[in-house]
Amino acid sequence: MEPLTEAEVRELSSKANAIRQTIIEMLVAAGSGHTAGPLGMADIFTALYFRVLKHDPKNPDWPERDRLILSNGHIVPVRYATMAQAGYFPVEECLTLRKFGSRLQGHPERERLPGLETTSGPLGEGLSQASGIAYALRMDHDSNPSTSSGQARIYCIMGDGEQDEGNVWEAFMFAGKYKLANLTAIIDRNNIQIDGYTETIMPLEPLADKYRAFGWHVLEVDGHNIPQFIAACEEAKAIYEKPTVIIAHTIPGKGIREIERDYRWHGKPPSPEEAKLFLHELRTMEGKVESEHQ
């Protein structure tokens, strides 16, 4: 893949900003939901849906598609907002988040919305699901090499707080043992979970060394540097002998200075008054970026 041009980086950054604005609008309309994680992952989801993933919004069940598994389902507002921007459904539908009968529930439900691969809620399950899918696709390809399904990649997004779950490490062992090179795990290393900071609740470091010990190729990136994240995903494709984990260091609440790095915003939505201030800050930021590149 050719390096991103300055114009492409600017376009992706603008999309990420629009996605953050939609997240705020969704949460205030719902009156409930998670704020910090979705805002912090907007750059990564933008990179995935607009540069990395092989997918088709008009044919979401396309057999050759890459699969994106969201393990930490509570950050799903960022996925909904990004999918809407990518053309899976109208952006206006985002305002139905968590409403009765809506396709956009507080945790993703596979049978409600085309384009979702799994239903998630209980933390720690996503990597096991992703490993199973990666293993099955490889088996299908091995039994019928004329198909290209084995070339599809599986991406699994996880939170760092859910690394406390034993199920995650069982999946890491499984994927390492079977050398699932078609699997890329992405960990949102934002250092917060619902009760506080990860290193206070249950220290995770040295995180990268642990993954290496389980037979994984490990990459660490700035989760807000879109070109750097895309480059890491490209490197993962070149690793044939083991799965890859990308530890993406992010700022929870990214884009809203008042709430950045504040774990209390993990599961708290903005009030209407706060939403106005947050949206103003994001729109002002977008204006500054545009003026800097004119």
228-267 confidence digits (pLDDT tens): 999 999 999 999 999 999 999 999 999 999 999 999 999 9
183-235 confidence digits (pLDDT tens): 999 999 999 999 999 999 999 999 999 999 999 999 999 999 999 999 999 99
144-186 confidence digits (pLDDT tens): 876 666 689 999 999 999 999 999 999 999 999 999 999 999 9
Nearest to 184 by CA among 222, 152, 207: 152
Task: Give the per-residue pLDDT at 121.
Answer: 82
Q: How many domains does the chain have?
A: 1
In a domain, 285, yes or no: yes
Q: Does pLDDT of 2 surpass 90?
A: no
* Neighbour tally for 280: CB within 10 Å: 10
- Rounded Cα gap, residues 266 and 244, in angstroms: 27
- Rounded Cα gap, residues 2 and 194, in angstroms: 39
Distances (CA, A) of 239 to 209, 235, 291: 18, 7, 40
In a domain, 1, yes or no: no
pLDDT band at 37 (very low <50, low <70, confident <90, very high): very high
Instruction: Write the CATH number for 198.
Output: 3.40.50.970
pTM of the predicted model as reported, rounded to 2 decimal places: 0.95
CB 79 within 8 A of CB 45: yes
Q: What does the H/E/C string look like for 155-199? A: EEEEECHHHHCHHHHHHHHHHHHCCCCCEEEEEEECCEECCEEHH
CB 79 within 8 A of CB 44: no
Task: Give the per-residue pLDDT at 182.
Answer: 97
Q: Does pLDDT of 292 surpass 80?
A: no
In a domain, 214, yes or no: yes
* Neighbour tally for 141: CB within 10 Å: 17
pLDDT band at 289 (very low <50, low <70, confident <90, very high): low
In a domain, 200, yes or no: yes
In a domain, 60, yes or no: yes
**Which domain range does residue 216 map to?**
6-292
76-111 confidence digits (pLDDT tens): 999 999 999 999 999 999 999 999 999 999 999 999
CB 95 within 8 A of CB 24: no
Task: Give the per-residue pLDDT at 12.
Answer: 98
Residue 220, SS3?
Answer: strand
* Neighbour tally for 155: CB within 10 Å: 22
Q: Does pLDDT of 25 surpass 60?
A: yes
In a domain, 261, yes or no: yes
